[in-house]
Structure 1
Amino acid sequence: MNINFNNLSDNFLLSLLSSDEQATISSAVKLASVNVGEIICEPGAKLEYVYFPISGMFSLLYILENGGSAEIGVIGKEGFVGVPILLGGETMSHQVIIQGSGEAFRMPVYHLTKLFNQSISFRNILLHYMQALMTQISQTAVCNSHHKIDQRLCRWLLLSLDRLSGNELCMTQELISIMLGVRREGITSAASNLQKEKIIDYSRGTICVLDRHRLEERCCECYEVVKKRIFSIIF
């Protein structure tokens, strides 16, 4: 598929580049489909490609030795997957798995490194995004330590909705419990409370958000902190 400027603008970071820079990047990327459950990278594996999503959602999962896991960040069309490359690394310390099907521009690592070193504007955009992702990861750690499960569930739902189209999420309570690193019973109770208040509707692995405004009211401050940091890059 020939990549044109309009295609590139579907990713927020690439949309910030000049037309000349987009022309250079268009020859270095390919459009790839990603599907729910697909593992993009395992912990410790060498990165061959980075991804600039235009739809769907990439989840960053930290895997413990005992098999337990917790989500430390989510990435959609506002960002890119492969931040360790910017720091001189070659591997990821966590697993990258697709939580929402979609498409992404896939770029070989050597092209990213070359463009990062050649273009000041491209470098600044990626570094600003890296700061935003670090904010999300650190805020997630704070949230998991200090906030109630229902607040954490609201934060996770809002971050996911921001990266997926529509107001529905195809996600089981078991999978959400893995993402948040809590027992399934806690998610069941929190989701049940939100459903009773008609904020969400949950049925057969599909969560439909009925009242986003009230969902935001029930959430802790962590969602707004992450959202404002992302907006500071885009706008």
Structure 2
Amino acid sequence: MLSPLSHQPNQNHLLAALPVAEFERLKPHLELVHLPLGDVLCESGGRLSHVYFPTSAIISLHYILENGASSEIAGVGNEGMLGISLFMGGDTTPSWATVQTGGDSYRMKAAIMMQEFNSGGPVQRLLLRYAQALITQISQTAVCNRHHTIEQQLCRWLLLTLDRLNSEELIMTQELIASMLGVRREGITEAAGKLQQAGIIRYRRGHITVLDRAGLTAHVCECYDVVKKEFERLFRDVQKY
């Protein structure tokens, strides 16, 4: 059972970036929920009844092709929210939203979120900046998947996941990672094997432990840094307006 005493909405960085007055106004509308691994929060073409602000859960935004193959286009963790389609004018999206890492999240009714957005002010500015950062992540993921090696893609994915967790251990099978990156499982096995031989990670039965984060950073492509710096820049600058 969830204990609100050990959870606070400002554990989500997007909510924490709000000015105090706006945060306190939204706080009564935020409901703490647990998101189990594999839970589908939104299907392609579906409408969200709530927006989600993860604290320890990670949500995967991915596209499923007609032949059943899928690939992740972005992830949402404690840095952001699920539900930008509501205020970007599209209402629905062609992607799916599935819980990649089980954990906790705050949610708010979509109607309340839209009311806040349409009133303008700090909430609207912050959400638009987050949307820009998320678009950067989606764009950089497409570039990375096209131009960089599977090992570099795996390092990028691992680092982005670690940034959203308070642990150096991930519960994740190679099959699921392969599905996220849209590559063959054999490619992930080979890439993970190289990282394990280098003493950077340890992999056993669906558990990945990062032993050397600096080593992981040394192997990653520039895509990780581009996404990380864009999120930091947009959250830092929001207080200026």
TM-score range, shorter chain: over 0.9
Within the alignment, does 1:22 sit opposite 2:23 as a pair?
yes
* Cα shift readout 1:141-168 (whole Å, capped 9, x = no counterpart): 0000000000000000001111112101
Q: In structure 1, the residue corresponding to 2:183 is in which secondary structure?
A: coil
Mapped partners of 1:35, 1:234: distance in 2: 28
- Partner-residue secondary structure (3-state), 2:8: helix
Superposed CA deviations along residues 154-207 of structure 1, whole A, max 9, x for unmatched, are 000001111112101111111110000000100000000100000000001000
AA paired with 2:88? L
Q: 2:239 aligns to what?
A: none
Shift of 1:13: 1.3
Alpha-carbon distance in 1 for matches of 2:134, 2:165: 18
Q: Distance in 2 between matches of 1:12 and 1:95?
A: 23
- Shift, 1:218, TM fit: 0.3
Distance 1:115 1:187 in 2: 43
> 1:2 offset after TM fit, Å?
10
Of 12-21 and 102-111, more deviation after overlay is shown by 12-21
| Structure 1 residue ranges without an equivalent (≥5) | none
1:115 maps onto 2:116 in alignment: yes
Report the alpha carbon displacement of residue 27 of structure 1 after superposing the two structures with TM.
2.1
Aligned identity (percent) is 48
Larger CA deviation: 137-146 vs 111-120: 111-120
TM-score (norm 1): 0.95
Alignment of structure 1 residues 89-108 onto 2, 5 Å:
89-108=90-109
Q: How large is the RMSD of aligned CA atoms in angstroms?
A: 1.6
Name the TM-score, length of structure 2 as normaliser. Answer: 0.93
Please give the residue correspondences for 1:31-110 in structure 2 after superposition, counting only pairs within 5 Å: 31-110=32-111
Question: 1:35·1:98 contact (CA, 8 Å) conserved in 2?
Answer: yes
Moved more, 205-214 or 27-36: 27-36
Kindly provide the amino acid, as one letter, of the partner of residue 14 in structure 1: L
The alpha carbon displacement at 1:101 in A equals 1.4
Q: CA–CA distance in 2 between the matches of 1:221 and 1:36?
A: 29
Match of 1:131 in 2: 132
Unaligned runs of at least 5 residues, structure 2: 237-241
Where 2:38 maps in the other structure, the secondary structure is: coil
After superposition, give the CA deviation of every residue in 1:119-140 in whole Å (9 maximum; x if it has no partner): 4111111111100000000000
1:215 matched to 2:216? The reply is yes
Equivalent position amino acid for 2:96 in 1: Q
1:190 aligns with 2:227: no
Aligned counterparts of 1:47 and 1:87: Cα–Cα separation in 2:
13
